[in-house]
Structures are given as structure tokens and as C-alpha cells.
Amino acid sequence: MQTPADLIVILGTGGTIAGTAKTASDGVGYTAAQLRVEDLLAAVPALQGRRLEAHQIAQLDSKDMDFTTWQRLAQQVDAQLSRPEVKGVVVTHGTDTVEETAYFLQRVLAPNKPVVMTAAMRPATALQADGPQNLLDAVVVASDVYASGVLFAFAGAIHSAEQLRKVHSYRIDAFDSAEGARLGVIEEGRVRWHLRTALPLAPLGLARVDRPAAQWPRVQILMNHVGADGAIVRALIAEGVDGLVVAGTGNGTLSASLDAALREAQAQGVRVLRSTRCDAGPVMELPGLLPSAGSLSPVKARIELILALLA
């Protein structure tokens, strides 16, 4: 008899969802990444009785997420998804960089099975912690028959790795999908899909990211703003940067001085991508301008450039 593919594997990486504070009323002065993933599961009675397996991959405040952890996580996710009995994977993560980790996993693995990331804005010890509901919702999404690819389940909504953005520093509903492109909602333990995901780009594969993290290309992000003079670009060229993503104003526009400095960088072999500091909207590719990052936010354009330079 065939084993049913109904196992959900939960991978813990830390974050506020695993955070604790000294008092239940403290929603800000807490320490992230304290509880193990098994403890998070134990706080959700509705998950008892489901086929789950939990593994701790890291225990980090996601502001300190690093390339080595990304490699380990991508390998683990890939290994778990390849088990026939696994229906999907849930990854608990900090909110600060979850959009980057989600995009990285999507580009490297582009999995057919779902990888549902989730997080919390309040620590596990808060009077009204949001982590348990988000974790339950993530398991619901990972179990859904239509779910695939890297998703984010948070505050009752489902976002794609491509569109996900943190849009508020402390509000409980801190995430959105750029241009309103939420994929669906979770309602009382059921998923209601709004949109089908656009056809994902082909996976780049784990071999692309197997180089030791210390040898990964150095790609930095800078911004256009009033008086941007290009001094940062020259400093970065001097210290050997490999790639630069510039968060331009509006449709990726740059001050004349910043544009000139970035062209100098390009002439010296530094790869440059032009994104926008706006919250949404693509940067149009136009003849004669520095290459556009399309609709990628600056942090995701940086990942794209790192992956391109790793090729």
C-alpha cells in the first residue's frame, strides 16, 4: 500500500515567532529566537493529531540571516520535499528578512510542492501572540491541494515569494503583496485562493549556491536621493564590490552624478542593476539607461544579482 503524502515538515529558523519577553505586556523589548520549533507546535492545540515532523535548522534573529544558513535551509527544504510522504514544508522565520529568504528559496528550488513560510510580529509570550495562528494557517496552506512554490502565510493572507514585502515596522498586519497581488486568504482553516501564481521561473538548482558563503559575490544596495553624489559608489569600487543595486527614485531615475559613478563602476566590471525605492511598480528597461531590475524590489534584485554572479 502506498504511504499517503500528508506529512508536513516544519523547519524552525528563529525569529520573533520563537521570541520571549520578560513580561506578557512587552511586545517590543523581547529577544527573538529563544523557543524551539517543537515548543511553537505545542502552543497550537489545533495541530495535535496532524502528521507533522519538526526540525530546528537555525536559531536566529532574521536581521542576522546569512548565506551559510540559506545554503543549509535550501538543502534541507529540498531533501524534505523529495520524500514521497511529504506533502509540504513550513518554515518559521523572523519577519525582518523573510521576503529575502522566500525569494532565495523560490529562485533556487522553484518547488512544485508548497514551502510555506510564516512568522510573527509579537513574541510567543505576548498577551495576544500572533505566532500560533500564523503557524496553524501555514500548515493549512501547506496541506492544500492547490498550493505550490514558496509562499508566505501571515495574518490570514497568502503571499508569493515574488510579491511579498514587509510594509510596516510593528503593526500586526505588517506584510503586503506589491500591487495588491495577494494569492489568497485562510479562513477558519480553509484556503480561498484569489489568484493563480504566474508561471514561476525555472529553478537555478542547489549546485548554483554550493560555493562556501565567504566566496559569494559582494553585492551592495544604495539609493538615489536629493544630493546623491556617487561618493558611496567610488568607495565601494575601491573596496572590491562585485555588484551594485541602486534603488532609484520613481521609475529607477538617478541623479546625474550617481548615474555617472555607476557607469564608472560598470566600466570597471561591476554589475549594476537599477531598481526603485518606490513600494511598488516596475522599472522600465529603456535604451541607453543602466539595466533594470524589472519589478524586483532592491533586496530581491540583490539576490537575483548574487545568483547571476554565482553562475
- How many residues belong to the site for ligand ASP (CB under 6 A)? 11
- Per CB under 6 A, the segment of 61-69, 195-203, 222-230, 256-264 that binds ligand ASP is 61-69
Site for ligand ASP in 93-132 (CB under 6 A): 94-96, 119, 121
Which of 61, 185, 232, 242 is in the footprint of ligand ASP by CB under 6 A? 61
> Smallest gap, in angstroms, from Cβ of residue 124 to ligand ASP?
11
What's the min distance (Å) between Cβ of 173 and ligand ASP? Answer: 13
**Residues 14-33: x/- map of binding to ligand ASP (CB under 6 A)?**
-xx---------------x-
SS3 letters for the chain? CCCCCCEEEEEEEECHHHCECCCCCCCCCCECCCCCHHHHHHCCHHHCCCCEEEEEEEEECHHHCCHHHHHHHHHHHHHHHCCCCEEEEEEECCCCCHHHHHHHHHHHHCCCCEEEEECCCCCCCCCCCCHHHHHHHHHHHHHCCCCCEEEEEECCEEEECCCEEECCCCCCCCEEEHHHCCCEEEECCEEEECCCCCCCCCCCCHHHHCCCHHHCCCEEEEECCCCCCCHHHHHHHHCCCCEEEEEEECCCECCHHHHHHHHHHHHCCCEEEEEECCCCCCCCCCCCCCCECCCCCHHHHHHHHHHHHCC
CB of 163 to ligand ASP, least distance (A): 19
Point out the catalytic residue in the list 16, 69, 92, 276. 16
Site for ligand ASP in 258-297 (CB under 6 A): none
16 carries an active-site annotation: yes
Rule CB under 6 A: say whether 63 interacts with ligand ASP.
Answer: yes
Q: Which of 8, 9, 30, 62 binds ligand ASP (CB under 6 A)?
A: 62
Query: With binding defined as CB under 6 A, does residue 252 bind ligand ASP?
Result: no
Binding mask 135-154 toward ligand ASP (x if CB under 6 A, else -) reads --------------------
Binding site for ligand ASP (CB under 6 A): 15-16, 32, 61-63, 94-96, 119, 121
Residues with catalytic function = 16
